[in-house]
């Protein structure tokens, strides 16, 4: 009986170790994809990744499955696993939907957010302002979830259906393209200024102004992304 307990403990320990390894690889690959260290369309081989991270195929495949669930990786017939790549027309469509839905989220947030939630939103911007790349006007990176200005506003709408639409399967893929677009000349500081204006409207409880500013902000981001993508093709 003691031996059985020891074996069970060993199995649980191995399972926890695999989960920890899988979490580490998942987070590292997600960061690499979002920050552009691995480009859209890049092929990822299991053997190469297993060697890079010093990990067995089991926990590696679990990390890959999680990235596929977030739409950051996809399986392509006769190609294998690669980083998801949206076409320009697909990107434009996604941003057009964001303009409509996030504009409405900002309008609702202006009246639905509590004073504490608005204070938290302001604190997020204060944290962003300390970023060296942002201060140097080189890039504007936002961590996911509560450290993401847009995420906070969507949650602040207190509309579950709207939140499910916006913080669903495309959220992480959009983050990748948001960061890429932010690295263009003068866009980081401009985006920050637009965020401040949206925050001011929400603090003033002016829903219509918050919606207008959010739609303009996303329209500028869409145009910037369009121009950046066209320049990369040239």
Q: Whole-angstrom Cα distance, residue 224 to residue 219?
A: 8
Q: Whole-angstrom Cα distance, residue 115 to residue 118?
A: 5
Average pLDDT estimate for 115-128: 97
> What's the confidence (pLDDT) of residue 23?
93
In CATH terms, 88-233 corresponds, of 3.40.50.720, 1.20.120.530, 1.20.1050.10, 3.40.50.1220, to 1.20.120.530
CA angle 108, 148, 33 (to 5 degrees): 135
Average pLDDT estimate for 73-77: 89
Q: Whole-angstrom Cα distance, residue 151 to residue 149?
A: 6
Q: What is the CATH number of domain 2-83?
A: 1.10.10.10
> What's the confidence (pLDDT) of residue 33?
92
Q: Whole-angstrom Cα distance, residue 96 to residue 101?
A: 9
Nearest Cα residue to 142 out of 92, 192, 95, 70: 192
The residues near 117 (Cβ < 8 Å, ≥ 6 apart) are: 152, 156
> What's the confidence (pLDDT) of residue 91?
87
Structure confidence by residue, pLDDT tens digits, 80-94: 899 999 888 898 898
pTM, entire model: 0.79
What are the domain boundaries of the chain? Answer: 2-83, 88-233
CA angle 44, 66, 28 (to 5 degrees): 60
Structure confidence by residue, pLDDT tens digits, 94-115: 889 999 999 999 999 999 999 9
Residue 147 carries which DSSP code?
G
CB-based contact 206:113 (threshold 8 Å): no
């Amino acid at each position: 009986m003691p031996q059985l307990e020891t074996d069970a403990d060993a199995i649980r320990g191995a399972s926890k170790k695999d989960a920890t390894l899988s979490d580490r690889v998942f987070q590292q690959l997600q960061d690499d994809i979002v920050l552009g260290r691995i480009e859209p369309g890049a092929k990822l081989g299991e053997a190469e990744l297993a060697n890079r991270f010093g990990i067995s195929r089991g926990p590696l495949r679990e990390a890959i499955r999680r990235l596929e669930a977030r739409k950051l990786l996809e399986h392509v017939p006769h190609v294998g696993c690669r980083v998801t790549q949206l076409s320009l027309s697909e990107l434009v469509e996604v941003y057009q939907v964001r303009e409509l839905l996030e504009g409405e989220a900002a309008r609702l947030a202006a009246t639905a957010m509590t004073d504490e939630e608005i204070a938290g939103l302001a604190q997020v911007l204060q944290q962003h302002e300390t970023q060296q790349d942002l201060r140097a006007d080189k890039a504007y990176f936002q961590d996911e979830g509560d450290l993401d200005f847009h995420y906070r506003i969507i949650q602040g709408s207190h509309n579950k259906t709207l939140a499910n639409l916006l913080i669903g399967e495309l959220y992480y893929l959009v983050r990748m393209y948001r960061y890429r677009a932010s690295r263009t000349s003068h866009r980081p500081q401009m985006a920050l200024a637009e965020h401040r204006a949206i925050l001011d409207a929400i603090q003033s409880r002016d829903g219509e102004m918050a919606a207008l500013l959010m739609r303009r902000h996303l329209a500028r981001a869409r145009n910037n992304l369009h121009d950046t993508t066209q320049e990369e093709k040239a």
